Amino acid sequence: MTEPTAGSAMPAAPHGPFRPGDRVQLTDPKGRVNTVTLQPGKLYHSHKGAIPHDEIIGSPEGSVFRSTGGTEYLAFRPLLADYALRMPRGAAVVYPKDAAQIVTMADIFPGARVVEAGAGSGALTCWLLRAVGEHGMVSSYERREDFAGIARTNVETYFGGPHPAWRLTVGSLEDALTDTDVDRVVLDMLAPWECVDAVAKALVPGGLVCAYVATTTQLSRVVETLREHGAFAEPYAFETLLRSWHVEGLAVRPDHRMVGHTGFLATARRLADGVRPPVRRRRPAKGAQTGETTEIPETPEPPAPLD
């Protein structure tokens, strides 16, 4: 079942004073966050008192409001990272640190034609749609109809309605994919190696596939499948760790908690039809039994950081 949303008007980016219907994050002095949807005549209630929604409506972002109990709350619209971590979930959401790496390392650009499988809870879909813009296209495939429904609700809630660059299909990628001349494919699924043939047929030469998996066994299998397929250049596999810091006066140290392992990423470029990559050469490790130079695939170096 395919349900395109083309022709819908995408809402403008939120800006200006708070309006009825806006989602607002109210943060107390201890950093605890509560999200409310503004409605005229309503009250935000907590054990620290109430704040009238009418007092917030019309005020600029970054304003401070005092509850009837005397507690001050700082008000901002949620960022997409905030929304993704607090959205209703079917499948687990892609963490913002991984979504940022996918958008960057998969080189998602304005106007890109992107295939996503699966849609999950819609968190990554929101990041992809913001990256491709109104003139791109994100085609999401989700096997489970209940997950597809949750993803649709979350995406349309965030954007304020159907997004003109999004098409959601309920079905497996390998069976339902009809897209051709695709620029990028993002695989967030249990067994991405099952889709490599379909991905190779859909991608343009120079296009890129990015797989997001949770375990080392999944990572190994998808990388080896991409290597053996013959239509892709040498894959690059990596993960990212995020550690925040406590900074207060002279007390500057890493926080006790960090967002450690959430998933692995593997990317690979599509070769031109009929082309095989040159074999990468490297010297054997010290202690090897032969002095001959071996011809085995070598993991490419990550991009050099910008000065």
Q: What confidence tens digit (pLDDT) does each residue in 240-260 have?
A: 999 999 999 999 999 998 888
Is 146 flagged in the annotation as binding?
Answer: no
Mark whether 146 and 213 lie in a shared domain.
yes
The rounded distance, in Å, linking the Cα atoms of 86 and 186 is: 23
Asked if 203 and 57 sit in the same domain, the reply is no
Contact 26, 73 (CB under 8 A): yes
Q: Is residue 142 annotated as involved in ligand binding?
A: yes
User: Ramachandran region of residue 120, left (φ > 0), alpha (ψ -120 to 50) or beta?
Assistant: left
241 and 119 housed in the same domain: yes
Domain assignment present for residue 175? The answer is: yes
Q: How far apart are CA 303 and CA 3, in angstroms?
A: 38
Does the annotation list 123 as a binding residue?
yes
**Domain, as residue range, for 62:** 23-78
Please tell me whether residues 204 and 57 are part of one structural domain: no
Total tally of structural domains belonging to the chain:
2
Q: Give the model's pLDDT for residue 92.
A: 82
Both 197 and 241 in one domain: the answer is yes
In a domain, 302, yes or no: no
Share of the chain above pLDDT 70, in %: 87
Q: Are residues 71 and 86 in the same domain?
A: no
Higher pLDDT, 127 or 285: 127
pTM for the full predicted model: 0.83
124 is in an annotated binding site: yes
Q: Is residue 307 part of a domain?
A: no
Same domain? For 104 and 180 the reply is yes
* Average pLDDT along the chain: 88
Asked if residue 4 has pLDDT above 50, the reply is: no
> Which of 59, 78, 97 is at the close of a domain?
78
Asked which of 40, 61, 78 is the last residue of a domain, the reply is 78
List of long-range contacts for 22-26, beta carbons under 8 Å, 24+ apart: 22/77, 23/77, 23/78, 23/83, 24/56, 24/75, 24/76, 24/77, 24/78, 25/75, 25/76, 25/77, 25/78, 25/82, 26/51, 26/65, 26/73, 26/74, 26/75
Same domain, 110 and 238: yes
Longest Cα–Cα distance of the chain, Å, equals 81
In what side-by-side order are the strands of the sheet with 182-187? Answer: 2-4, 166-170, 137-142, 113-117, 182-187, 203-213, 264-269, 236-238
